[in-house]
Structure 1
Amino acid sequence: MANALHLVGSIPYDTAEETFRSFGGALGDHLTTIPDGEIGPRQHWISRVHYQILAGHPQLEVVRFPEPVDGVEQQFPRNAGDSWLFKVKDGIDKVRFGDPGWRLGYARDAVNSYFVFRALRDAGELPGHLRFQVSMPSVVSALPPRIFPNPDDIEKLRSGYQDALAAELQMIIQKIPADDLAIQWDCSTEMQDSYGAVPGYSRDGAVDRNTPQFRALSPLIPEDVMLGYHLCFGTLGGWPRFAPDDLSGAVEMANGFVEASGRRVDWLHIPVLDRADDAFYAPLADLKPQGAKIYLGAIHNMEGYEERIATARKFLPDFGVAAYCGMGRVPPAELPDVLNDHVQAAET
């Protein structure tokens, strides 16, 4: 029986056309939505926000840059210990962003890639049912506590960034037809928080800390636009950044996202580790998706793939599959193998 597939976001090609032709051409019949591969700086996920958006903001100071290599600047950190660090300047209570709708760059990139998507779909090179997927880091994940030496700076920045992200979202909705569009929130810090893995934060209250952003943002998305969430164990410095004992935190956070969204949620993507024991997957029985399609990020180490799927189905009979995360940090030379893994998963 063929499996439904999902692509999380980043794929290390140089152009959106390459993403659509390669992964869309081979997998399109199994997909509901397709991203543009988060080409260019977006392949490095939140690091793009840090060096393109925050590093030049007049109300912020850069406390630390990623370490240069052989005297050459590096915009993208090698691991969390090499990340950009920022400080809000004295006297600033709320960092604000200008050029609403365009400042963060997500709307501009989405509009540009959408027309490539539409041209290929109209030419019959992509299946007609496919929607264009725009994946964006959540507010909490774009601005994680680890990039602020002074914890008091976190909310000073997150409030204004949420305003900017809301304007970006509304611009995307204005420029791309609703029945062609799907929005995905990417959530890594939230996932870590759900397991007590964010230094300085207790696991207690994690859902309440992380859902207000979606109570504000997700209701802005019209019902005709699809909405999904990607929960992530993180890939900076190698995947996974942390390896929990089971999926309980992921399930708790996913349920919280669905409840907070104020509208229909169309899918939830939950990564799974290279394990096939009942204890790891058992929390899936507590998922309350309220109609959302579940995609398990199980496409990795294909020797153990079928065993992982069989164990997961004991607790969640119906789900699609995906990679554990975006592929932006995968060496491009490995993409043919990654694509073959997806084809195998679709046919297994």
Structure 2
Amino acid sequence: MLTDRIDLDDQLYGVFSSSLLLPGEPVRIGSREQLRAELSSRATGGILFTTLQKFGLTKEEREAKSAHSLLSNRLNIIVVVDEAHRGHYDTLDGFALRLREALPKATFLAFTGTPLSEADRDTRKVFGDYIDVYDLTRAVEDGATVRVYHESRLIPLELPPGVDPEAIDTRADEITAGLDEAEQERLRASKTPNLAIEALRRAIEQTMRQATRHNLVRQRSFSDRLVELMNAYRNQHLTAAEILTRLVEMAEEVSTEGDRGRHFTPPLSADELAFYDAVAQNASAVRDLGDDKLAAIARDLVVQVRKSVTTDWTIREDVRARMRTIIKRLLARHGYPPDAAREAIDLVIAQTETFAEDWASGTER
């Protein structure tokens, strides 16, 4: 039984290990070494529970750029995959490829509630046609789930009494114009702290949208942090003075966002910085490769991806699939961790969509 999450592996093993119907006792695989030992030593039988990531290469295999070791050539191995829509499509240099190198003659049986049908991720192409389909209609008829109804509603929004929307806009403009020490003290001492807080929040949002309009990673990061700060204040975890201090600090950080690329040697352009942020989201990639290597990847991505951008690339599946392959190979060539590649590819594609129009028109940033 194969999954791609430890918590799901725990759940499945717990259910099956208590069953009295199985022909043998299930074995929970805790490491790559145990997986290799179990599969290579069994001539028959065995009920194993593990995760897809256990089929990673050893250090020696990675350094030798070799395939995964053959673990079993048996024809009667059945790999039961749960949540099959997630991690089984990287057959270029990912765990899906390593799994099939290790068990080349195994039969695959997949379960998923959301089968994919995309150019580079097609569930039926990987696992074969459907054996059985249990859809929402049958689930409702069986009583396994309730019927879902959708009702459109308009939610009226109102400002607190005494708060003038025009006053908020005016205050936001004033704050955006300057945030020196005197201004900060005046905000903290304000008799209307809620108005000052809302004005500062709006100012940050406005500056953030301008500074990160082509960088989804930073845009999401700033947005999430701002929401967390405001929630902490509304839940009385921060005082008015504390939230103002934190908002001022964030405003200063947002205002210098455009200078981050200058800290690299050579400096990164806005497009390169957006790709750098995409590939630097994974902690293991940052740890293994470091900032300089990730910056080099970002520079190469701009060059290679830009060649693939056409005016209609967002609606042509063949072009998008080719672009994903280009990105995947580039990351593999630079030694990017295979388990982090899919998320990085998705982020690079998403980033590209934000400035592809400028690229197609030849605009430089």
Question: Highest CA radius of gyration, 1 or 2?
Answer: 2
- Common fold by TM > 0.5: no
Structure with greater helix percent = 2
Instruction: With a CA cutoff of 8 Å and minimum separation of 6, indicate the structure with the bigger relative contact order.
Output: 1
With normalisation by structure 1, the TM-score equals 0.25
More strand by share: 1
